[in-house]
A and B are shown apart, each in its own frame.
Chain A
Amino acid sequence: MEEKEIISIWFIIGCLLFLFGVIIFAANVLDYYVPWSGTVTVLHEYRAGIWWGAFLIVIGLVYSIAFNPWKKTKEAA
C-alpha cells in the first residue's frame, strides 16, 4: 500500500467540518437578521446554530491546517 501518499483522514474530516460550519453559520446568521426558516425551536434565543456553526468552522480549520498534506506531516492516514 502506498501509505505515505495517502492524504490524512483528519485533513478530510477538517475540510468537511469546515464546510458544514460555513453552511450552518451562514444559514443561521441570515435567519437571525432576515427570518426565513420559519422554525422556532425551544431555546431559540440562544442561537445555537450560530455558535455551533462557528465551533465547526474553528474545529475544521484546526484539523485542516494541522494535517495539511502539503506540509508533509508524519501522520499519514
Chain B
Amino acid sequence: MLGLIVPQLAMLFTGSNIISLGWVDSAIVILYFIFVLGIGFYLMKFTKTGEDFFMAGRSMTMWIAGLSFVAANLGSLELMGWAAASYQYGILATHWYWIGAVPAMLFLGLIMMPFYYISKTHSVPGYLKLRFGDGASMVSAVSFGFMTVLMSGINMYSMAIVMKVVLGWDIHFSIWVSSITVMLYVVLGGLLSAILNEVLQFMLIWLGALLIPILGMIEAGGWEKMVDRIHQNFPQGDYTHLWSTLGSFQDNPMGIHWTGIVFGLGFCISFAYWTTDFLVVQRVLTAKDLRAAKMAPIIGASFKMFVPLIVILPGLLGLAVIPGLVGETEAIATGGHSYNEVLPLMMARYLGPGLLGLGITALIAGFMSGMAGNVSAFATVWTYDIYRPIHRMFAKTDGTDAHFVKIGRWTTIIGVFVSIGTAYLVQQFASIMDYVQALFSFFVAPLFGTVILGMLWKRATKAGGYYGLLAGTVSSIGMWLWVKMDPTALKIIALSPYAKDMAENMYRALWSWSICVAVTVIVSLMTKAKPDSELDGLVRSCTVLPSEGHLPFYQRPVFFASIVFAVFLALNIIFW
C-alpha cells in the first residue's frame, strides 16, 4: 500500500497544501505531543527490570492488551491508504479488515496464545528456539529485526510525505520531531509506555476520524442514497459488493478471484501476519494471565471489524460526493486531485476549527503507534534473541537483568536512528520501498507454516522446522524474481495473466506456505522427533492446558469469540 501511494504523492506535491491548520488546530496537536511525552516520563520510574521494559511486567488487562494489539498494526498511511484503496477498489478493500483479520485473530486467541503464553517466551523467535532450536530462531530473529527497522523508516518517510502534501510541513521537521518523540517515550518507559500510548492513540484515531463518515452519511442522505450516487457516478463498475463480483478476475476493479481472497488473504497472509508477526503478538504476551491473553486478540478482532467505518466508508463516501478524483498520472498531468488524497479532501470538506487539528492528530497518532510497535518489538528481539546468545557465547555468562535493560534502551535509540537513516535513503531511492515491502512479505507466510506445525504437530523436528522455513522463504523470493524477469509467469504463480499486484502477493504467499509445510513434513518424517516430555507447554497434544470449566460459559473466551465470528459472518452476508 505504501509503495503504491507515497512516491506518487511525492511527485504530486507542487507546493500547495490541501489543509491549513489554524492556532486552535495547532494547540490540539501540541497538547497531544505533550501528553505522549508526559506518559513516557511518568512511566520511567515503573520500568526497572527486563520484564518491565520488554514485557510491560506481564500485567496488562485484556482491554489494554487487546486495544494495543490493534493499534500497533496501524501505520502512518493506514487511514489515508485504505481510504484511497476504497475509492479505487470500492468496498472490496474491506476484505483486509474482515476475512483478512478477524478469523486469524480469533485463531490466535483460542488456539495459539496458550502456547505462546505458557512457554513464557519473550518473542516469536523465542518460541521457535524452544521448539526448533537455534537455527530456525536465528533466521526468524534476524529477518524480523532487519525488516522491522527498515519498515519503520519507510513508515516514517511516508508520514513525512503525507504531512508535506496535506499540511505543507517540512519533511525533516516531520521525521525528526515524530521519531524523537517516539524514541523518548519508548526509551524511558519501555513496552509499558509504548502500549499505554497506543491505547491513547487508538482512542484519538477513532475520535479524530469518526466525524468524517458521520457528516458524509448526512450529506449523502444515508447508505442507500450513497450507493445510488456511486452507481450514477460510476456506472461501469460495482463498488459496493464484497463477494458477488469475485467470480472472475475481470469482473472487479481489484482483478482478483474469490480463491485468492479466501485462501491467499483470508488464510495465508492474514494468519501469517496476525499470529506470527512479533510486532502484534508482543502486545498480547504482556497480558496479566492466560484468560486475558486469550481474550485480548478477541477484543482486538471486535474493534478491527469496525475500523472500516473510519477507513473504508470515507473512501466510499468520496465516490458519492467528490466523484472527480483520478489516478496519480492523470492528476499530475491535469493538475487535479488524486484518489490518494481522498481522506484529507474529506477532512477539508467537513472539519472546521479544532476538528481539523483532531483529524491531523489521528493521522500522527496512527504513525506513532505503528512506529512505537516497530521499535519496541525490535528492541526485544535484538536483545533477547540475537544479542543474548552472542553475549553468552563470548562472555561465557548469562548477563544481568540490568545489563539487558541497558542494551534494550540503547537498541531502541539505535533502531530509531537506523529508521531515520532508512527514511532518508528512501527519499533518495524511492524504489527501495517496493523492494523492502516485497522482502517483508517473503518471511511471514513460511514463518506461519513453521509455527503452526510446531504447535499442532508433535512429530515436527528441529531439522524439519529449519529447512521448511528456509525452503518457504527461498521459494517466495524465487517466485518474486521469476515474475520480475518474466511477467508471463504471472499466469502460473497467480493463476491468471489478469492478476494485479495484490493478487500476485496472495498467491505467492499461499505457494510459499505450502512449500514450507511440505518440506517441514518430509524432513521431519526422515529425522528423529523430540520425546513428548520435552514438548510440554510447546505442542498441543503434549500439553495439559488449564481448564476453564470453573468459569460460567459467558465468561469463557470461546463464547466471546463465537459472538465476534457470528457478527463477522453477518457483516459479510449483509454486504455480499
Contacts and interface: CB of A to CB of B under 8 A. Distances in A.
B200 interface: yes
B28 A20 contact: yes
A41 B207 CA distance: 19
A12 B218 CA distance: 32
Interface string A1-34: 1110111010011001101100110011001000
Interface in B329-386: 348-355, 358
A32 B49 CA distance: 53
Interface string B213-248: 001001100000000000000000000000000000
A52 B60 CA distance: 31
Given A13-B199, A23-B27, A27-B24, A46 B215 contact: yes
B73 interface: no
A1 B57 CA distance: 6
Contacts of B43: 6
Contact of B31 (A20, A42, A49): A20
B46 A1 contact: yes
Query: Which of B24, B27, B28, B219 gathers the greatest number of chain A CB atoms within 10 Å?
Result: B24
Given A24-B24, A42-B219, A1 B48 contact: yes
B489 interface: no
B133 to A, nearest CB: 32
A44 B215 CA distance: 10
Interface string A21-65: 001100110010000010101111010110011001001000000
B51 interface: yes
Contacts of B32: 16
A49 B404 CA distance: 48
B111 interface: no
Contacts of A43: 215, 218-219, 350
Contacts, number: 107
B61 interface: yes
A77 interface: yes
Given A1-B57, A17-B203, A39 B35 contact: no
A36 B48 CA distance: 50
A52 B218 CA distance: 15
A52 B355 contact: yes
A26 B218 CA distance: 24
Contacts of B199: 9, 13
B453 to A, nearest CB: 35
B22 interface: yes
A9 B48 CA distance: 19
B22 A37 contact: yes
Given A1-B57, A46-B215, A53 B354 contact: yes
A13 B197 CA distance: 9
Contact of A23 (B24, B47, B349): B24
A28 B200 contact: no
A23 B46 contact: no
Given A20-B358, A37-B353, A3 B207 contact: no
B215 A48 contact: yes
Contacts of B196: 9, 12, 77
Query: Which of A17, A20, A56 gathers the greatest number of chain B CB atoms within 10 Å?
Result: A20
A27 B218 contact: no
Contacts of A23: 24, 27-28, 31, 354
Nearest to B27: A23
Nearest to B52: A1
A22 to B, nearest CB: 10
A48 B207 contact: no
B184 interface: no
B39 interface: yes
A13 B200 contact: yes
A7 B207 contact: no
B518 to A, nearest CB: 45
Contacts of A3: 46, 57, 59
Contacts of B352: 28, 31, 37, 39, 41, 44, 48-49
B187 interface: no
Contacts of A44: 352
B105 interface: no
Contact of B355 (A1, A49, A77): A49
Contacts of B204: 16
Interface in B16-73: 22, 24, 27-28, 31-32, 35, 39, 42-43, 45-49, 51-52, 56-57, 59-61, 64
Given A1-B192, A31-B353, A52 B203 contact: no
Contacts of A27: 24, 353-354
Contacts of B358: 20, 24
Contact of A41 (B31, B200, B351, B354): B351
A48 B22 CA distance: 17
Given A28-B354, A41-B350, A48-B355, A16 B24 contact: no
Contacts of A49: 352-355
B31 A19 contact: yes
B211 interface: yes
24 contacts: A1-B47, A5-B46, A9-B64, A9-B196, A9-B199, A12-B39, A13-B200, A19-B31, A23-B28, A23-B31, A24-B358, A27-B354, A28-B352, A41-B351, A42-B349, A42-B350, A48-B355, A49-B352, A49-B354, A77-B59, A77-B60, A77-B61, A77-B192, A77-B196
Given A2-B46, A24-B355, A46-B215, 12 more contacts: A1-B48, A1-B51, A1-B56, A12-B39, A16-B35, A23-B24, A23-B31, A28-B353, A41-B350, A43-B215, A43-B219, A75-B61
Which 3 A-B pairs have CB atoms at the shortest separation, nearest pair first? Answer: A24-B354, A1-B57, A27-B24
